[in-house]
Structure 1
Amino acid sequence: MKISIRDKIILIMLVVIVISITSIGILAFNNAKAIVLNEAKQVSFKSLENANDYFLRKFMADMEHVVNFWADNEAIKGYESKPGQPKMVRSIPGHFQEVSDQWMGFVSSSPYIAWIYLAPEEDGSIFITPLDTTMPDDYDSRKRDWYREAVQNRGKAVWSDPYLDAGEVGGIVVTVARAVEKEGRLVGVVGMDIKLSRFSNIINDVKYGDEGYLMLINSKGEIFSHPDKQMLMTNISRDESLAAQLTSSEGIKIMDHEGKQRIVSYLTVPETGWKLVGVAPLDMGKLLAPIKDRAMQVAVASILVTFMIGLLLSRIITRPLDNIMNVIHNISQGKLSEHADIKSNDEFKVLGNQFNNMVDALRELIEERNLNVEELTKMNEEIRKNYLSTVQALANAIEASDKYTRGHCDRVSSISMTIARSMGVSSEDLSKLEFASILHDIGKIGISSDLLNKEGRLSQEEYEAVKQHPRIGHDILSDVAFLNESREILLQHHERVDGKGYPQGLKGDRIALLSKIISVADAYDAMTSSRPYRKIPLTKEQAIEEMLRAKGTQFDEKVIDCFVGLLAASDTMF
């Protein structure tokens, strides 16, 4: 059967368009699939790192801080048994009772802490708080794994794997311990037992994607934190497919687990050998559905448009047709920037315009994958909000022990940000300043609340203790990666431009500008708020007079000039 030129044109155009669209669609779809899969893996692993850094490691760092504090305590380091004192495992010697009473207060306020204790080296005793009368008489702390590990790693806190406590009431616990030394002599080991349920609570409270979950595995492969309680203290080797994936210190795997395709991310918790594992469902069909639907819409629309144009222009064989065919060929080779350039002012002009629109639509299909970048941006904003929530929680912990500073951290942050914006500080530095200003007094967690709330003048010894809070805060945040720059800022917020500040005695331009801003904001809020040593706050005018008096000595001149100008232009006290 003879085919007309008109039919040939229509058929050829349809075939070329279908091949071009199919080739481009497959290329774009496969590229989008690879990008979406890689982004899903990276988001999964980043979420796992956040859970480790801001929840698990934060808790462990806090517990290590407690153990380190007592291991360095002079009363502990100087402990000696009384002459004739017997070995003790169910009682505490009288001269150690004061320390035990302090421990009891801490244990009572921390339901997840089972015990705190000192295990002297000389006879294997253990002075445990609270007392456990079920401890065996032949108990020797020097034979326990946590004791040996602490002795082998002197100078740092060590963590045990979960184990069954020696008494009859403790259940399964995890121990953090550190050796106590005085002048190179081993005094013993300070230890703290943490209930296993605490780790499960930490892990289970972390939202890991929409339907994912986290688990924690010790160095022996035993699962000691899992949303399914039946999995607790079972060995990962029971799940051969999962165990086979956890072969390195960290990684991201796509695997079939529990009958579904999942992303398995894992990393090793430093110094413990534990593995934190995140398991999240992977539904590629759901992730790619918008792109697939868009591709089908463009393909159908392109074919229909091509068919209609072919019907209108099939009777005319001119040069514009060759132009279009060449462009079609180039597009099939992936050159999506090509456009038909039709000079005639007739149907071919219409064809060329419609064809160019179709090419633009195809290019939009490929750009569809960039929508995933917007999703990541939203996720980054959510992570930032989580960072800020974490920082705010730390700030609340600061103020919990000081009744005179309720809201102080928020006010100092608000004043600091106002000054910084007025001085033209960059958005990146504003973010650092926001965290640093909220957390500037976090070191007061390590200062006695009695000392913080003392009315009247501090003694020199007490003042020296209070002056340690910037250094303590700097150390507390050492393991929080996203606060590395902010903690350097808060370390300097009590430095003076004349070099008479603390803790480093920095002078002039050696002090960071952001630290100088916090110094001014902190001083202003302190002067205009009630304090133990001054119940009646200063007025705004009195505070301005005091700050101008300290300009160039305690405070930076530019920061003071900016702040005083802001105060003069404002009817409020901030």
Structure 2
Amino acid sequence: MIMNISHKFVLLFIIGCIVAFSLMGIFYLDHSRSIINNQYIESFDSSIIQLNNSISEFFSNFENALDMFSKNEMVQKVSDDPEKYYIPTMQFFKSFQQSYSSTAFAYFAPNKIILKNKKLITWPDTSDVLANTDWTASKRPWYKNAVKANGKIAWTKPYIDATTKKPIITISKVVKNSKGQLKGVMAIDFFLDELSNKIENFKAFKQGYAFVIDKDRSGYIFIVKDMQNRKFDKIIKADWMKRVFEKKSGSLNIKENNTDYYVTYTTNEITGWKVLGIIEKEKVYKNTRDMMQKIFTSSLIIMSIGILTIAYIAKQMTKSIKDLRESINDNENINGDDLPNQFNSLLKENQNYESLIDESSAYMSKLFECQWELENLMDIVKNKIEESYDIEIFRNLENIIDKLINFRNQFESSKSKLYQLQKENIQNHMDLVVEKIKERKNKHIPFEINEILNRIEKKIFIKDIEN
């Protein structure tokens, strides 16, 4: 009778544990798939923002140089005293052109012809070529745009340079003396090769495509694009592009030529151009599937270990119950009051059951606790950190970072594949936090919040070096 009860109990126990592990596994896999997919999309969005920042930094170098030239005393006075300032001004432009490899030409068009036939002060020097032609700077678009901009920097559309046959852009600005009198227009031509390299690097790293696009009366213009892959030429001229130019930034899902795409975009503050990222959804799903396969394999291994552990425990429990039954049969005349004592004694001899159960439970518990902290982190990063001035939110953020760093350290020493995946997952979240902190610190924030953000950055940075 006791044997029948024990067998039923063991069977129900095993079935219950398998069902529980299966339900937890299904929930965790489904939840992880959604999280990983969202993280990949967020990473793709973030990469477009970083690409835009990199483009702005590239443009800023030339804008700052143009502003410096327009305020330079030699440039302002060269048309009044060319004998003194012509050669030094040209040398000034030469130094800049040689320092920035993307510079095609740096030049100043004075408001009058100087030194009998000089219409332009430029490096590389082409003044002699222009001297005996009817070429006039004041009729050129870059000159007119600068005058119209009245002190602001004017930009041309990309065009092919007649000499190098490469795409370039011209930025220009009026030059005035201390009395506010127009002395001419300063301009810089620079190649777009570096922008193309940035986009190529993006494509290689993120498996998507990036474009810089502007709009004029004739339609959408590619500032920079992949000349070897022309399939997006017609796609980007589709009706959905109107929605892109209606907002400063955003994302949308489109379907063109029977292919689903995810599109993310932002606006370059300097030029007003759109920086656009496009990726086939199949690539997003593929990356998610690859990650899920690793997680699924790890889950199967964990479940197998769990079942073997349960089977071992069940076997030991059956043996204990059998020993108890034999003890009862051998001591039929024993006092009934001593029976609980003997049962307790047998249980004490097999205390390792509880430790095995606790060890398996702690393994899964640690994963779920870590995932819970990651979700709390994303809630703060996505919904609260950007505009909030509540110091408690930032203290909570620091507390979560401390917990995640602790989890990451624990996972670091483990050989479990699932722990290693979760460690990488934590690192990806840390990278996102650093990006958000940098964006937040660019805005005016109270001293106490700034101190907390600095501490968080330092903690993440130190741990990254250790790892």
TM-score bucket (shorter structure): 0.5 to 0.7
Q: How big is the shift at 1:76?
A: 3.0
Q: How big is the shift at 1:292?
A: 1.9
Relative to 1, partners in 2 of residues 1:236 and 1:256: Cα closer, same or farther, differing over 3 Å? closer
- Please give the alpha-carbon distance, in whole angstroms, between the structure 1 residues aligned to 2:83 and 2:121: 8
- Please give the alpha-carbon distance, in whole angstroms, between the structure 1 residues aligned to 2:291 and 2:159: 43
- Is 1:30 matched up with 2:26? no
- Please give the alpha-carbon distance, in whole angstroms, between the structure 2 residues aligned to 1:79 and 1:214: 43
The CA deviation string for residues 216-249 of structure 1, in whole angstroms up to 9 with x for no partner, is 3334543333454455995762477788667643
Q: How big is the shift at 1:298?
A: 2.0
Q: Which moved more, 1:205-214 or 1:299-308?
A: 205-214
Q: How big is the shift at 1:284?
A: 0.5
Q: Which moved more, 1:373-382 or 1:210-219?
A: 373-382
Task: Give runs of aligned pairs for residues 33-432 of structure 1, distance below 5 A.
Answer: 33-53=33-53, 55-78=54-77, 80=79, 96=86, 98-104=88-94, 106-107=96-97, 110-120=100-110, 128-129=122-123, 130-131=125-126, 133=129, 141-142=137-138, 144-165=140-161, 171-182=166-177, 183-204=179-200, 209=205, 211=207, 214-220=210-216, 221-229=220-228, 231=230, 234=233, 237-238=236-237, 248-251=247-250, 265-278=264-277, 281-282=283-284, 283-310=287-314, 313=317, 345-346=346-347, 351-366=353-368, 367=370, 368=419, 370-376=422-428
Paired residues of 1:223 and 1:232 also in contact (CA < 8 A): no
Structure 2: unaligned runs, 5 residues or longer: 114-118, 322-342, 371-418, 436-453, 459-467
The one-letter code matched in structure 2 to 1:19 is: V
Q: How big is the shift at 1:71?
A: 0.8
Paired residues of 2:79 and 2:111 also in contact (CA < 8 A): no
Q: Which moved more, 1:99-108 or 1:237-246?
A: 237-246
Paired residues of 1:10 and 1:310 also in contact (CA < 8 A): yes
Q: How big is the shift at 1:193?
A: 0.9
- Please give the alpha-carbon distance, in whole angstroms, between the structure 1 residues aligned to 2:231 and 2:152: 29
1:189 match: secondary structure: strand
- Please give the alpha-carbon distance, in whole angstroms, between the structure 1 residues aligned to 2:422 and 2:91: 61
Paired residues of 2:44 and 2:206 also in contact (CA < 8 A): no
Paired residues of 2:78 and 2:85 also in contact (CA < 8 A): no
Relative to 1, partners in 2 of residues 1:344 and 1:244: Cα closer, same or farther, differing over 3 Å? farther
The CA deviation string for residues 354-389 of structure 1, in whole angstroms up to 9 with x for no partner, is 333332232244344641355338968999xxxxxx
- Please give the alpha-carbon distance, in whole angstroms, between the structure 2 residues aligned to 1:262 and 1:169: 36
TM (norm. structure 1) is 0.49
In the other structure, the counterpart of 1:539 is none
Relative to 1, partners in 2 of residues 1:11 and 1:136: Cα closer, same or farther, differing over 3 Å? farther
- Please give the alpha-carbon distance, in whole angstroms, between the structure 2 residues aligned to 1:191 and 1:101: 16
In the other structure, the counterpart of 1:327 is none
Greater share of helix: 2
- Please give the alpha-carbon distance, in whole angstroms, between the structure 2 residues aligned to 1:15 and 1:244: 55
1:69 match: secondary structure: helix
Structure 1: unaligned runs, 5 residues or longer: 83-91, 318-341, 384-427, 433-574
Paired residues of 2:89 and 2:121 also in contact (CA < 8 A): no
Q: How big is the shift at 1:33?
A: 2.9
- Please give the alpha-carbon distance, in whole angstroms, between the structure 1 residues aligned to 2:359 and 2:204: 43
RMSD: 4.9
- Please give the alpha-carbon distance, in whole angstroms, between the structure 2 residues aligned to 1:233 and 1:120: 43
Aligned length: 351
The one-letter code matched in structure 2 to 1:354 is: L
Q: How big is the shift at 1:67?
A: 1.0
The one-letter code matched in structure 2 to 1:74 is: E
The one-letter code matched in structure 1 to 2:105 is: W
Paired residues of 2:51 and 2:198 also in contact (CA < 8 A): no
The one-letter code matched in structure 2 to 1:302 is: G
Relative to 1, partners in 2 of residues 1:218 and 1:135: Cα closer, same or farther, differing over 3 Å? farther
Relative to 1, partners in 2 of residues 1:379 and 1:207: Cα closer, same or farther, differing over 3 Å? farther
